[in-house]
Amino acid sequence: MLMNKKLLKFGANRVWRTYQGGKLLDQIEQQPTPKDTHFPEDWIGSIVEANNIGREHISEGLAHVGDEQGNSVLFRDLLTQNSRYYLGHSDDKPCTLDDVPLVKYLDSAIRLHFQAHPTREFAQQRLGKPRGKTEAYVILSIRDDVTEPYIYAGFQRPPSREDLKTWIEEQDICAIEKCFDRIPVKPGDVFLVPGGRPHALGEGILMLEVMEPSDLAVRFEFERGGYEIPEAARFMGRDIELALDAFNFSPVTADKIDDEFRCLPTLIEADNAGNKLEELIGADKTACFRIMRSTVTGIYRRKSDGFFYGIVAAGEGRITIGEQTTELKQWDRFFFPAGEAEFMYDPTSEMTIIECYAGSTSLPTNQ
């Protein structure tokens, strides 16, 4: 039996993808020669294995942590062997691995492929999978050479199903791109892209991506950056007709983009020291996960109603759980177990911590 650790910190867990990026992640890892490659993502504490056609012989995506004896173990195994401590209960029912969101650093050097992900209902009913891939973006920074960063999300001018099928088969990317407007983004912005909505991330963006724990994707643009996606990786192993069934074709007109995708923070609490807790994505937006943001300017005592991933987006300091204190610096990522309800942030410079929770109708407050 693996022993309980009050706080788990993660090292880099880079994963191969079909597009290029990752130079900023190399810099974060203090690599001697940072560069863009096919490893543009860091899957933080991931319990999901990457689905990379042609690389099935390579295990990618699953994160490792050190146990009390200093051995490297799969994080997934640690959670499984003591799920009550690490995952806790939700609504009086034990949490399972399916409740643990997939959290990533993503650093794009080029625009990503046009793609769409299934909803949870579609994944369960048509693919025999427990989770779809509703996802959220927390924009962290923009590369210096990018002047107009953007994402695409939802069809602003939806094509007919038959037109889209033809454009996909002929790879008429110009026609596909005309269905979208560019949505400007900047550091601090937060977006939620529900399953079914077609989308693409623009170049030069470093973000935190939070999603349901799956790697399901309809990739309807086959080539980017000189790499062509194999046929088996385009439509989730199915045919184009089933892939098209996964799309939400309803229009998201320009005046409705913010209502549909952009998420504005809600202040949950603030104290006299200038500390504050904000909800970035809550139960009113999705049942798949919750995202909070702590801004810490002084000692900040907190209570949590469940496990969460913490990502230090800015600043440095410490987190104390009981008698255990752990140093935190910018870009550190950690896992806070459900079995430890109380903790304290103590900054040496103003810290911003993004906290990613399982989906729930309750909120992590100090009440």
Q: Where are the domains of the chain?
A: 8-261, 266-358
- The rounded distance, in Å, linking the Cα atoms of 6 and 322 is 9
Task: Note the pLDDT of residue 367.
Answer: 32
Cα–Cα distances in Å, from 215 out to 13, 50, 74, 167? 16, 6, 19, 24
Task: Note the pLDDT of residue 74.
Answer: 95
Identical fold, 8-261 and 266-358: yes
Closest CA to 225 of 115, 114, 146, 110: 110
Closest CA to 320 of 299, 338, 339, 306: 299
CA 136 to chain centre: 6
Amino acid making up residue 129? K
pLDDT digits (tens, 9 = 90+) for 244-290: 999 999 999 999 999 999 999 999 999 999 999 999 999 999 999 99
- Do you know the residue count of the chain? 367
- The rounded distance, in Å, linking the Cα atoms of 56 and 107 is 23
- The rounded distance, in Å, linking the Cα atoms of 38 and 36 is 7
pLDDT digits (tens, 9 = 90+) for 315-346: 999 999 999 999 999 999 999 999 998 999 99
Task: Note the pLDDT of residue 1.
Answer: 42
At residue 253, the 3 state secondary structure works out as coil
Read off the pLDDT of each residue in 9-27 and give the average, rounded to a whole number.
97
The CATH T-level fold of domain 266-358 is Jelly Rolls (2.60.120)
31 pLDDT more than 60: yes
313 pLDDT more than 90: yes
Count other Cβ atoms within 10 Å, centred on residue 54: 11
The chain-wide mean pLDDT, for the chain, equals 93
22 pLDDT more than 50: yes
CATH architecture of 8-261: Sandwich (2.60)
Count other Cβ atoms within 10 Å, centred on residue 137: 24
The position carrying tokens 């913010």 is 258
Beta bridge partners of 153: 199
Task: Note the pLDDT of residue 3.
Answer: 54
- The rounded distance, in Å, linking the Cα atoms of 45 and 101 is 10
Give the side-chain half-sphere CA count within 13 A for 362.
13
Query: What is the percent of the chain where pLDDT is above 90?
Result: 87
Amino acid making up residue 254? A
231 pLDDT more than 80: yes
Contacts for 90 with CB less than 8 Å, ≥ 6 apart? 99, 306, 358, 360
What pTM, to 2 d.p., does this model score?
0.94
pLDDT digits (tens, 9 = 90+) for 145-202: 999 999 999 999 999 999 999 999 999 999 999 999 999 999 999 999 999 999 999 9
Per residue, what are the HEC states of 182-243? CEECCCCCEEEECCCCCEEECCCEEEEEEECCCCCCEECCCEECCEECCHHHCECCCCHHHH
pLDDT digits (tens, 9 = 90+) for 33-55: 999 999 999 999 999 999 888 89
352 pLDDT more than 80: yes
234 pLDDT more than 90: yes
Task: Note the pLDDT of residue 358.
Answer: 93
Backbone angles phi, psi at 225, to 5 degrees: 60, 25
User: Tokens for 339?
Assistant: 């079995």
Question: Residue 122 region, left (φ>0) first, then alpha (ψ -120 to 50), else beta?
Answer: alpha
Read off the pLDDT of each residue in 111-123 and give the average, rounded to a whole number.
97
90 pLDDT more than 60: no
Cβ pair 346, 297 in contact under 8 A: no
- The rounded distance, in Å, linking the Cα atoms of 138 and 313 is 10
366 pLDDT more than 50: no
